[in-house]
Amino acid sequence: RRLNLVPDVATNLSHHYIQNQNLLHKASEQHMENLRVEMTHAGREKNLALANVIKYGAVSHDEKEITETEHQITEENKQQQARLSNNIIGPNIIHEIVSRRTGIPTSELSQAQHHRLLKLNENLRKKVVGQDDAIDSITKVVLRHKGEFSRQNQPIGSFLFLGTHGVGKTELAKTLALELFDSTESIICIDMSKYTESNSIARLVSVPPIKSSFSIAQLIDESSDKKHVGFEQDGELTEAIRRQPYAVILFNKIEKTHPQIWNTLLQVLDNGRLEDGKGQTVDFTNTIFVLTSNIGAQYILEEVENQSSSIKISNGELSQTIKNPIMKEVRLCFQSEFFNRLDDIVFFQPLNINQLSSIVHLQLKSLECLKEKDIEINLTDKAIQSILKKSYNPVYGVDPLKRYVEEYLKEELSKLLIQTRFASPSLVTIDTDINNRYLFRIQHLQRTTSNSPKKLGYVRHSTHEEPMINVDDDDEQENRFSAYEDGNTSPRRLSKQMKQSPRMRKRFYSTTYIFIKQ
C-alpha cells in the first residue's frame, strides 16, 4: 500500500477524538470491577439474594452487551480490511475509520465541513419554510463557535424557541441535526413533561450504583421500571450523548419540567460537561441545545385572528406589542440565570398562505418512490387552496396539514402508481374541478437528446389519449384535449405539427384525467 498524507491526519485526529474512547474503555472496566466487588461482598455477608441479583442481572447483562459490541466491531473491521486491501490509504479513509470508531460524522473530520458550514443558512432555508429569522440566528451562533470566537468548553449553541404549535420549531431542530451531523439519528428528543417531579432528575442523568446495604425488596421495588433488577438505570440524556456525542438535543415543552432540573441544565450550559450518577463525566461540547415552549402562544393566535394585524403577520414579523407580554411570561417561568446561558431566544412566526403552499409542495415532492420513477408533482393554486381549506388550523399549525397530505393525497398517489404504468419521466398535476374534487392530470413525457448534446428536450410519448381510469365522459375528455391548442386541432394534426416544429415538440404531451373520489 502507498501511504498518502496519513501520518499528519492520523496524528491530529487521534489527539482530538480518540482520547474519549480510551476514557470510556477504562470507565467500562472500572464499572465491571465495581459490580464484581459488590457481588463478592454480598456473598461474604451471606446475602445470596443480592449476590444473585448482581451476578445474573447487572454483570451478565453487561458482559453480554460487551460481547455483542466486540463481535460487531470485529465484523466491521473484517469488512473494512477487505475493502481497504486494494486501496490507497488516504485522509478520506482515515476519516471514515475514525468516524466508525468514535461515532463522529465524517464531514466533521474533513475539510468538506467548512463548505457545509458556509452553505448551512441556504440549506436550512430550502427545507424549513417561513422561519428565516430563526435560521439566521442559529447559523450565526454555529459559525461563531466553529470559527473559535466563542468559549470552546461550552455547547456549540443553546436556544429557546418560542411560538405557536406546528410552525417549525421541531422541524428546524431536526433539519439542523441532519445538515450539521449527516444523520437523522443525530437528534435526541426528550419530552420534558415527563420530568415534572423532583426525583425525575435521576432518570435524566442516571441513578447512583446500588449498595450492598440495600435489601432485596428495596432493589426489586426501585428497579421495577428498569431493564433488569438491581442494576442502575442509564440516564436518558447522558447515555444518549455517550452513544451520540455529536447531536442536537431537543427539549420539548421545557416550561413543564421541574425547577430542580434547571440546576443540572445550567451546569451543562455553563461548563459543557456533566457528572452523572455513576461518577462518569459526559462531554456536551459538541452538542446544540434547543428548548421549545408554547408560552405566550395565545398572544400570537390573537394577532393572527386580528384582521388589523394581518399585514404584520403576512410580512413574517411579530409586532413588539406581542413579544413584550410573551417575554414577561417567559421571565416568570424560568430562572434569571437561565437567560444568561442562552445564545438567543428565537420567536417563530405564524405562516402565511404562500409559506403553507410551499410546505404542501415539499411534502409531496419528498416522496422517494416518485424520485425513483422520475415523476414530478405539481399543484395548481386551486388545489392548494382546497388543501389548506380542508386541513389547516392556526391553533394546531401545519401538523393537520401534513396529516391530510400524508393520509389522503399520498395515499391516492400511491394507488395511482400501482394502477398506472408511468413513462419516465412524467409530470402529475393536481387540480380541482368545479365541484372541488381533486383532478390528477398525468403528462407522459419522453426525454430525448436535442441538437446540443448538453441539453435535454422532451417530446410527446404518444399522440392520443388513453384514460387509465375511465371515470370521465368521453366527450368531455375530447373537449379538454382539443382545447389544448385552439379547439379545432385534431390529434393527427398535432402529431404532424410536432414532427415539424421543435417548439411544439417541447410543449406536446398526452394527458389523462383522473378524478379522485372524496
The CB-based long-range contact list for 65-71 (8 Å cut-off, 24+ gap) reads 66/28
Distance separating alpha carbons of residues 393 and 305, to the nearest angstrom: 11
Predicted local distance difference test score (pLDDT) of residue 309: 45
The amino acid sitting at 222 is: E
Predicted confidence at residue 407, as pLDDT, reads 80
Name the one residue in this structure whose C-alpha cell is 482515515: 94
Amino acid at residue number 56: Y
- For residue 267, give the nearest of 325, 166, 335, 327 by alpha carbon: 335
| Domains of the chain by residue range | 1-102, 106-350, 353-515
- Could you give the CA distance from residue 177 to residue 376 in angstroms, rounded to a whole number? 27
Mean of pLDDT over the chain: 70
All three cell numbers of 129: 419554510
Q: What is the mean pLDDT of residues 246-267?
A: 88
Average pLDDT on 205-217 reads 52
Q: Are 142 and 180 in contact (CB under 8 A)?
A: yes
Count the helix, strand and coil residues of the chain and give each as a percent rounded to the nearest 5: 55, 15, 30
- CATH classification (class only), 353-515: mainly alpha
Task: Say yes or no to pLDDT of 474 above 80.
Answer: no
CA distance 235 to 274: 12
Q: pLDDT-based confidence at 125, cuts 50/70/90?
A: very high
Least confident of 114-118, 187-191, 400-404, 479-483: 479-483
Provide CB contacts within 8 A for 21, sequence distance 6+: 101, 102
pLDDT at 203: 82
How many residues does this entry show for the chain?
A: 518
Q: Indicate the pLDDT class of residue 33, thresholds 50, 70 and 90.
A: low
pLDDT at res. 29 = 63
Cα 232 to Cα 127: distance, rounded to the nearest angstrom: 41
Question: Side chain identity at 159, as an amino acid letter?
Answer: F
- 84 φ/ψ angles, rounded to the nearest 5 degrees: -90, -10
Q: Which of 421-425, 459-463, 475-479 has the lowest mean pLDDT?
A: 459-463
Instruction: Specify the residue for cell string 442562552.
Output: 342
Q: Residue 480: pLDDT band by 50, 70, 90 thresholds?
A: very low
What is the per-residue pLDDT for 432?
85
Give Cα separations from 324 to 222, 339, 464 (angstroms).
46, 16, 63
For 103, residues 6+ apart whose C-beta sits below 8 A from its C-beta are 243, 244, 245, 246
In this predicted structure, what is the pLDDT of residue 314? 44
Helices (H) and strands (E) in the chain, counts: 26, 12
What pLDDT does 26 receive?
A: 55
Q: With beta carbons less than 8 A apart as the criterion, state whether 270 and 262 touch.
A: no
- Closest alpha carbon to 217 in 202, 231, 230: 230
Q: Give how far the C-alpha of residue 440 lies from the chain's centroid of Cα atoms, to the nearest Å.
A: 30
Residue 35 has pLDDT above 70, yes or no: no
CA-wise closest residue to 53 among 206, 203, 207, 210: 210
Q: How, if at all, do strands 157-162 and 344-347 pair?
A: parallel
**What confidence category does residue 230 fall into, taking pLDDT thresholds of 50, 70 and 90?**
very low
> CA–CA separation, 78 vs 59, rounded Å?
28
Per-residue pLDDT at 292: 93
Which candidate, 297, 306, 293, 305, places its Cα nearest to that of 326? 297
- Say which residue, 103 or 201, is predicted with more confidence: 201
Higher pLDDT, 485 or 403: 403
pLDDT at 162: 92
Helix (H, G, I), strand (E, B), or coil: what is residue 506? helix
Bridge partner residues of 273 (DSSP): 283
Which of the residue ranges 46-50, 70-74, 129-133, 301-305 would you say has the lowest mean pLDDT? 46-50
Question: In the prediction, which pLDDT does 124 show?
Answer: 93
pLDDT of residue 173: 93
pLDDT digits (tens, 9 = 90+) for 339-360: 888 999 999 988 888 888 888 8
What HEC string does 435-492 produce?
Answer: CCCEEEEEEEEEEEECCCCCCEEEEECCCCCCCCCCCCCHHHHHHHHHCCCCCCCCHH
Top-confidence residue, 212 or 400: 400
Q: Decide if domain 106-350 falls under CATH 2.40.50.140.
A: no
State the pLDDT at residue 89.
Answer: 60
CA angle centred on 501, ends 499 and 504, rounded to 5°:
95
Higher-pLDDT residue of 370, 136:
136
Q: Which residue has the higher pLDDT, 105 or 185?
A: 185
Query: What are the pLDDT digits (tens) for 359-404?
Result: 888 887 776 566 667 778 888 888 888 888 888 877 788 888 888 8
CB distance 353 to 392 below 8 Å: no
From the CB of residue 4, how many other CB atoms can be counted at a distance below 10 Å? 13
**67 pLDDT above the threshold of 50:** yes
Q: How confident is the model at residue 459 (pLDDT cuts 50, 70, 90)?
A: very low
- Answer yes or no: is pLDDT of 7 > 80: no
pTM: 0.64
